[in-house]
Chain A
Amino acid sequence: MDKKPVDKSRAGVTRRDFIKGMGSGAIGTAVLQPLLGQTIATRKGRVPVYDRKTITLTVNGRKTTVEVEANETLLDVLRDKLDLTGAKRVCDRGECGGCTVHLDGEPVYACMYLAIRADGRTIKTVEGLAEGDKLHPVQEAFIEKDGYQCGFCTPGFLMTTSAFLEKNPAPSRDEIRQALSGNLCRCGNYAKIYGAVDAAARKMRGA
């Protein structure tokens, strides 16, 4: 769970809002001429602010290439360009966990992660959690224990839980509460979600 929640103080809202706010789309360059040519740091070195780049992602087991702008978030690319709408845009600034996906097996807030930084990496969304028709034990447990109401936050909870249980297969109730604390459920069904996570852990342990 060390990568989540995203460190807001350092990498967080201010810089991200700044980047996102600069915008581009059809008119970005026209509006923000003075910023042209500046660069931002990524995993693969610095890239120009307005660079469009074709990146390669392995999403739910399939390799795909997609052209992104350097300031596009992973969430927007998944939802708008790859039509994977399981991850939700709820707060759009790393406060609620509704957009949680796995990046190389680690849960990340996709709304706080620039797509260009994910170039060459492996992503799993809620659409890729089941294996064919066979649901992941976490998915089965959420159905059996009614660990949802409206279901809008559920993909985020499922991705957080599945990553958490890989690291901690036999969590205590307190560890479950801590692990889920980066995900908000406005319907207020946490009490049922604890039960679902606990049941999922038992299933995965074969207990």
Chain B
Amino acid sequence: MIKKDFVDIGDSSRIYMEEARGQAGGTARPAKAAAAKPAEPAPEAKPPAYGLIGKATNRIDGRMVVTGQAKYTHDVKLKGMLIGKILRSPRAAAELVSIDLAPALAVPGVMAALKLAEGKVRYAGQQVAAVAALDERTAEKALGLIKVEYKPLPYVVDWEKARDAGAPQVREGKPNVEKINEYGRGDVAKGFAESDVIVEKTYRTGFEVHNPTETHGSVAVWEGDHLVVYDSTQNVHSVRDGLARVLKVPAANVTVIKNYMGGGFGSKLGVNDYTIAAANLARQAGRPVKVLLSRRDNAVCVGYRPSSSQTYKVGAKKDGTLTALQLTNMASGGVGSGDDVGEPAVDIYKCPNCKVFEETVYTNTGGSRAMRAPGHTQGDFGLEGVMDELAAALDMDPLDLRRKNYSTKNLGDTGIPYSSKGLDICYELGAKAIGWERRNRRPGEGTGDGPRRRGIGVATSIWYGAGVPGTLADIVLYPDMSVEVVCGTQDLGTGTRTHMAVVAAETLGLDPKDITIKIGNSDYPWAPGSGGSQTTPSVAPAVRDAALKAVERLKTVAAARLKIEAGDVVMADRRFSSKSDPARSAAFGDVYRDLRRETVFHGERGGMPMDQFAFNTFGAHFAEVEVNVETGRIRVIKYAAVQDSGQVVNRLTAESQVIGGITQGLSAGLFEERVMDDATGNPVNPNLRDYKIGTSLDIPEITVLFADVFDPRINNLGVKGLGEPARVPSSAAIANAVYNAIGVHVREIPMTPKRVLETLKRKEAAS
């Protein structure tokens, strides 16, 4: 039985970007409120004086995590559960001649087996067959007995070689190189003609693997004709919809559950082929089946950040005014598409003339996936690098150059106004926090200590993260004064439960610990996937909406009890009282009891005037590094990050988000690179020993600040996303600090000691 359920994940990044920009046609529900409202209130509006929102609140699920009680998908164990294992192609391209499952099925303890591919395999790691057995070892051994006959085909895993005319064709009947993005405004030729200085440089970024600590996996169980799947996913609703579509069962008969998850970073957004395999194995065996991927699988078949090779040509007047900005990019995402990285160039700086042309190269490597700020981290590394090299050519302070070209409208100051933009505040606070005046006035000017050179650099962040109109959340009040918030969102590990509890408690006059949070289930009210920095700006306003409705009802009930007008009721200190006669007062407990039965309030995140305003998040990161010019080793010693993400909900977890963004950017900037082996078509470092990730020894002193700019138009709380904005500029800020330290830009990340030393040789050759 061959199921035509091969899931092409190749375009996940592009779908992700559409969703992040609010262009999604697929998953977002059209909101009743999405129709553009008038652009008021006035921009000088201030948020109310909150008691909890914006302060630091400890995670309400902290105890679950630190006692080991938090159940992750890996920890799910159901009665009668089998262990499923997937056989993957060792070959990067081959014709599948035959798959013989019989020897596996003959093994005692093997309960089901499936063929998962037919025709050709296009990358090493593609799933070919699967078994489910009583235990893991039996499944592993049975997998080894499956007889697969491959007829090897030519393949190419090196994206530069894949561009050659004679390179093996990755996709049948289609060229390996394909255009993914083209943009233009103004006239770049005219802009370059008007410029006094032109700088043209090429910047490259490597393949970065998500490597969440919890590997991908699912547990599937059929309860009659209802499928229940525990999945390590960032989007319970899209996994439900995907399973329903592929398995041809009604969406209403599928439930997807995710209680806790060990990281995703974009690699766990949609339905996966192994989840479908688990559901089919479970159907065949008539028992629950758990399929967990291995650490190696993380490097071959569940995505990575695609590479880029970006050539920027930028023209400016002597005073720093940009006249033209041109970007040509070649990305690669294996059998999937690479990321388009042009957004920072198109948007951040005021420039009338801009042109972007981007292509992707297909190779016989697993498909890329969205990874925390897809496209933007790569594009920011290139754009911010060339801005610093331009500043040097103009003999200008890099921060002054950025301020000189500051925009208040999107599309490089040629589009619609930003609803709010606190980037100027970010620059100011960050420069002060790092001690910007201590930098080398010109790159490489410092004398240093022996072989060690110090430098300071800056990079700007732009991202979306406005949230999705139509997100739903329910609040349930019980007569015993317990309160439940129910929403089909999920916690990536950012503290979603706590921010929901903070918003509900703030509005209802309770403590976050009083609130029971129910999330991570596709049976709950709709919420978007936790990607694109959309969770908080989608969910928090919906919770706020529901809670405000609940308060209105409670006030009505209190008014009846107190025999006063509802408009006269005020809520304070866990009591409802008469404003005009404070002696008339009832405790929360009495009013909740008057509800008589549990009462549900539906909340929805409303719309925003997207045709009149651009809704973006901003930030500025400053890094100080020390570079050893003899060993090529870079140490980041100090770091300051300032984010404009609107109203912060929980300062404690928000800081952690930013720290994580910095740390991942440091790790990608200095260490992380998946390397493919031409000779085998497989990665040479598919583990956590050879694929280097930053450890506790690599972390600088970090200062995290928030610009606290209030956006009255974006939603009822003024909340914007944060996870990705904090990741966008971190590698770029470190690279610019290295440039300031040694006087030559290491135009390729990761900036390994070898690349730093090669860059220094370039400096010697030039002098």
Smallest beta-carbon distance B386→chain A, Å: 27
Smallest beta-carbon distance A205→chain B, Å: 20
Smallest beta-carbon distance A3→chain B, Å: 19
Q: In the bound complex, how far is the Cα of B687 from the Cα of A92, in angstroms?
A: 10
Whether, in the assembled complex, B90 has its beta carbon less than 8 Å from a beta carbon of chain A, the answer is no
**Main secondary structure on A side of the interface with B:** loop
Inter-subunit contact B660/A187 (CB<8 Å): yes
Q: In the bound complex, how far is the Cα of B699 from the Cα of A89, in angstroms?
A: 25
A93 and B687 contact, Cβ closer than 8 Å, known pairs A149-B493, A150-B213: yes
Q: Closest B-chain residue to A25, C-beta based?
A: B137
Whether, in the assembled complex, B683 has its beta carbon less than 8 Å from a beta carbon of chain A, the answer is no
For B137, give its contact among A28, A96, A176 (CB under 8 Å). Answer: A28
| Beta-carbon contacts under 8 Å, B126-143 to A | 133-142
Whether, in the assembled complex, A47 has its beta carbon less than 8 Å from a beta carbon of chain B, the answer is no
Q: In the bound complex, how far is the Cα of B328 from the Cα of A60, in angstroms?
A: 60
Inter-subunit contact A96/B688 (CB<8 Å): yes
Smallest beta-carbon distance A22→chain B, Å: 10
Whether, in the assembled complex, A127 has its beta carbon less than 8 Å from a beta carbon of chain B, the answer is yes
Stretch at the interface among B6-14, B178-186, B258-266: B258-266
| Residues in B neighbouring A185, C-beta threshold 8 A | 213, 696
Inter-subunit contact A91/B295 (CB<8 Å): yes
Inter-subunit contact B213/A152 (CB<8 Å): yes
| Residues in A neighbouring B133, C-beta threshold 8 A | 25-26
Inter-subunit contact B656/A192 (CB<8 Å): yes
Q: Closest A-chain residue to B695, C-beta based?
A: A181
A129 and B687 contact, Cβ closer than 8 Å, known pairs A88-B74, A151-B493, A187-B263: no
For A150, give its contact among B140, B261, B664 (CB under 8 Å). Answer: B261
| Residues in A neighbouring B32, C-beta threshold 8 A | none
- A-B contacts counted at CB < 8 A amount to 202
| Residues in B neighbouring A24, C-beta threshold 8 A | 137
Inter-subunit contact B663/A191 (CB<8 Å): yes
User: C-beta contact mask, A183-205 vs B, less than 8 Å → 1, else 0?
Assistant: 11111111111100000000000
Whether, in the assembled complex, A171 has its beta carbon less than 8 Å from a beta carbon of chain B, the answer is no
Whether, in the assembled complex, A155 has its beta carbon less than 8 Å from a beta carbon of chain B, the answer is yes
Whether, in the assembled complex, A90 has its beta carbon less than 8 Å from a beta carbon of chain B, the answer is yes
| Residues in B neighbouring A98, C-beta threshold 8 A | 213
Counting chain B residues whose Cβ lies within 8 A of the other chain, the interface size class is 35 or more
Smallest beta-carbon distance A103→chain B, Å: 17
For B141, give its contact among A23, A83, A193 (CB under 8 Å). Answer: A23
For B667, give its contact among A25, A88, A188 (CB under 8 Å). Answer: A188
Counting chain A residues whose Cβ lies within 8 A of the other chain, the interface size class is 35 or more
Inter-subunit contact B138/A146 (CB<8 Å): no
For B67, give its contact among A80, A93, A95, A139 (CB under 8 Å). Answer: A139
Whether, in the assembled complex, A36 has its beta carbon less than 8 Å from a beta carbon of chain B, the answer is no
Whether, in the assembled complex, A116 has its beta carbon less than 8 Å from a beta carbon of chain B, the answer is no
Whether, in the assembled complex, A1 has its beta carbon less than 8 Å from a beta carbon of chain B, the answer is no
Q: Closest A-chain residue to B727, C-beta based?
A: A188
Smallest beta-carbon distance A156→chain B, Å: 9
Inter-subunit contact B77/A158 (CB<8 Å): no
Smallest beta-carbon distance B651→chain A, Å: 10
Stretch at the interface among B57-65, B156-164, B562-570: B57-65
Inter-subunit contact B141/A85 (CB<8 Å): no
| Residues in B neighbouring A186, C-beta threshold 8 A | 211-213, 263, 265, 693
Inter-subunit contact B67/A127 (CB<8 Å): yes
Q: In the bound complex, how far is the Cα of B142 from the Cα of A189, in angstroms?
A: 40
A146 and B653 contact, Cβ closer than 8 Å, known pairs A88-B74, A158-B66, A188-B660: yes
User: C-beta contact mask, A144-183 vs B, less than 8 Å → 1, else 0?
Assistant: 1010111111110010000000000000000011101101
Inter-subunit contact A146/B261 (CB<8 Å): no
User: C-beta contact mask, A105-135 vs B, less than 8 Å → 1, else 0?
Assistant: 0000000000000000000011101100001
| Residues in B neighbouring A158, C-beta threshold 8 A | 66
| Residues in B neighbouring A86, C-beta threshold 8 A | 67-69
Whether, in the assembled complex, B524 has its beta carbon less than 8 Å from a beta carbon of chain A, the answer is no
Inter-subunit contact B695/A184 (CB<8 Å): yes
Inter-subunit contact B493/A187 (CB<8 Å): yes
Whether, in the assembled complex, B107 has its beta carbon less than 8 Å from a beta carbon of chain A, the answer is yes
A188 and B68 contact, Cβ closer than 8 Å, known pairs A27-B138, A146-B655, A150-B261: no
Smallest beta-carbon distance B707→chain A, Å: 20
Inter-subunit contact B67/A90 (CB<8 Å): no
A88 and B213 contact, Cβ closer than 8 Å, known pairs A25-B137, A151-B262: yes
Inter-subunit contact A90/B295 (CB<8 Å): yes
| Beta-carbon contacts under 8 Å, B100-147 to A | 107-109, 133-142, 144
A153 and B213 contact, Cβ closer than 8 Å, known pairs A93-B689, A188-B667: yes
Q: In the bound complex, how far is the Cα of B692 from the Cα of A184, in angstroms?
A: 11
Q: Closest B-chain residue to A159, C-beta based?
A: B68
- The interface of chain B, by Cβ under 8 A from chain A, is 58-59, 62-63, 65-72, 74-75, 77, 107-109, 133-142, 144, 211-215, 260-263, 265, 294-295, 492-495, 652-653, 655-657, 659-664, 667, 687-689, 693-697, 699, 702
**Known pairs A142-B66, A184-B213. 8 more at Cβ < 8 A?**
A90-B213, A90-B214, A90-B295, A91-B688, A92-B295, A143-B59, A149-B495, A152-B262
The list of the 5 closest CB pairs from A to B, nearest first, reads A86-B68, A150-B493, A188-B663, A152-B262, A25-B137
Name 10 A/B residue pairs within 8 A (Cβ), A-sorted: A27-B107, A85-B74, A90-B295, A93-B687, A125-B68, A135-B63, A149-B494, A151-B65, A189-B656, A190-B699
